[in-house]
Amino acid sequence: MWGIDERAAQASWRADERGDPESEWASPEWESLDAWRAAAAAGGSRAVFAELQANLDAAEGAQLQSNRQFAAQLDAFRRAFALADAHPELYLTAETLTSEPRPVGAERERPPARGPRLDVAELAARSVAAELSMRLLLPAATIRSRAFEAARCHDLLPRLWARFRDGLAAYAELRVALDAIAGLPLPADFRGASAEQRAAAQAAAERLAALDDELSELAGTVPRARFRRRARLLRAKLDQPDEVAARHARALAQRRLTVESADDGMAWVTLYVSAVDAARIRARVGATATEHSGRPDEARTLDQLRADVATALLTGDGTPTAVRTEILVTIPALTLVGAAGAAGAAGALDAPLARPAELEGHGPIDDDTARRLFAEAPTFLRLATDPFTSAPLALDRTRYRVTAAQRRWLAQQYEGCTRPGCTSPVTATDLDHLTAWAHGGTTDVDNLAPTCRTDHTLKHRARFSVTRSADGTISWRSPSGHLARTEPIPARSYPDRAPF
């Protein structure tokens, strides 16, 4: 039973005022009546109990509403992508629709000719993902992934999709179910007229229906971890030995390393590898950490040791192949002179204006780490800035070139792709000419903006327009007319033009 209604709550207040122990409120259909009696026997108030019930029911109802709203959003994603696929003219230029892509302007003014040629359907999908990203400020990859999940669940697991749409199943359960059918032969895989193909398609449909029936019955009724275990068991019952091997091969092809920034100058590093390799990694790191822990002068915990050992192994500390990737670290000048010097300089102006040092792609880092990197780390590109204006004071002179300096300057202003909603770091972007070189655009910071390869392509082949205002704000207008902006980092003051 889903909680109490307003009339029941009012009845409880009236009965409480009359001193009647049950009266109208004591309905035998109310499942919480026994709980109230127990609370009343301990001296509890009927009104307080009703208020508690209302809040608990509200929390449960909010979860249902949240599931329904999430399902509605994913369904809107699914339908938007279907429309863009059926009507690519909504997004793409006439030239893109009718001819092969041609070079635009100078070499850096067009995406390099590498990788597979993009077809119209893919460009339309990228376009609608970019527009939704601008509207919702979500990564385009996240939107495409969720649209795919919605379409797949809607088409292949209709009963589970119906429970999700009604709020009874959660998005996390939908994802578990989609993982469970990954790699499963689908009816569409056996299109054809032969009796054998029809039988195979029928068998595939029956396997999907069996999974859909059982998972939809479980969704919303058991804890998430148990739902995942049951989904894996159900899939295992349907798999043939050769299918298990094929699934592992497909999953192994997706192995990767990801880095996610965290607070307080920290980050998470995640490896998605085979279970066997993960066990080997854990064994080696654990054995090395245990060996270090036995030393008399070792004060680190085992967790700290395992983290330090893994870091040393991955970065190659102390070896000929130690990491040499260039990373930009921005350090205010007052940070370099130390805390005492900074306090004196700030005190002279009665304004503690010192800003934190920053690591490219992450954010603020502590002053001690910043000073150590500036003095000792050869793999870091170092940019000292004025403590009050934040304008660059000096660049590593052995590395100074005009185009490199412009890239560093723009990295300081925007940190990543300037298409609103995109999360690509500046290291993964092109320097896009806002006014094309072929159309008279100049190669200076007022006409350049970091743009990731995907969005750079869309700017030239779909009907997105990009402009820059005098204060450095980058504006993107979508083919549907939606306008979104990316502003320069507000914590810094930049001169009207870069000093190079």
Tens-binned pLDDT, residue by residue, of the chain (500 aa):
344 444 444 444 444 444 444 444 445 555 566 666 676 777 777 788 788 888 999 999 999 999 999 999 999 999 999 999 999 999 999 988 886 444 433 333 344 444 445 689 999 999 999 999 999 999 999 999 999 999 999 999 999 999 999 999 999 999 999 999 987 888 887 776 688 888 888 888 898 999 999 999 999 999 999 999 999 888 888 776 677 777 778 888 999 998 888 888 888 999 999 888 888 999 999 999 999 888 888 999 999 999 999 998 888 877 777 765 455 555 555 555 554 444 444 443 333 334 566 665 556 667 676 666 656 555 454 555 544 445 443 434 333 233 676 777 788 888 889 999 998 888 888 888 888 767 777 777 788 888 999 999 999 899 999 999 988 999 999 999 999 999 988 644 444 444 44
- Residues near 262 by beta carbon (within 8 Å), at least 6 away in sequence: 268
Cβ(330)–Cβ(357) below 8 Å: yes
Q: Say how far apart CA 382 and CA 44 lie, in whole Å.
A: 66
3-class SS at 258? strand
Position 207, amino acid = R
Task: Report if residue 392 sits inside a domain.
Answer: yes
Number of domains in the chain: 5
In a domain, 275, yes or no: yes
271 and 183 assigned to the same domain: no
Residues in the chain: 500
Do 88 and 132 sit in the same domain of this protein? yes
- For 22, the 3-state DSSP assignment is coil
Alpha helices in 258-384 (DSSP H): 275-293, 302-315, 333-336, 338-348, 367-376
Domain shared by 235 and 103, yes or no? yes
Query: Has residue 498 been placed in a domain?
Result: no
Domain boundary at 352, 370, 399, which?
399
- 3-class secondary-structure state, position 451: strand
Q: Which are the contacts of 108, defined by CB distance < 8 A and separation ≥ 6?
A: 430, 431, 432, 433, 437
Domain presence at residue 421 = yes
The verdict on 218 and 90 lying in the same domain is yes
Q: Where are the alpha helices (DSSP H) in 166-240?
A: 171-181, 195-218, 224-238
How many angstroms separate the CA atoms of 206 and 82, rounded?
A: 27
For residues 335 and 371, the answer to whether their CB atoms sit within 8 Å is yes
The answer to the question of residue 236 being in a domain is yes
Other CB atoms within 10 A of residue 216 CB: 21
Do 377 and 248 share a structural domain? no
Q: What is the spatial distance between Cα 360 and Cα 411, in angstroms, rounded to a whole number?
A: 8
User: Are 74 and 207 members of one domain?
Assistant: yes
What DSSP character marks residue 117? P
Same domain for 231 and 194: yes
Question: Is the same domain home to 266 and 409?
Answer: no
Q: Are 495 and 421 in contact (CB under 8 A)?
A: no
Q: Which residue in 357, 360, 362, 385 sits closest to 372, CA to CA?
A: 357
Where a domain ends, among 349, 374, 399? 399
Same domain, 228 and 361: no
Virtual CA dihedral for 344, 346, 352, 353, nearest 10 degrees?
A: -140
The model's pTM is 0.67
Q: What angle do CA 390, 393, 396 make, to 5 degrees?
A: 125
Instruction: Identify the domain containing residue 131 by its residue range.
Output: 67-252
Distance (Å, rounded) from C-alpha 152 to C-alpha 416? 32
The answer to whether residues 33 and 12 belong to one domain is yes
Choose the final residue of a domain: 365, 399, 433.
399
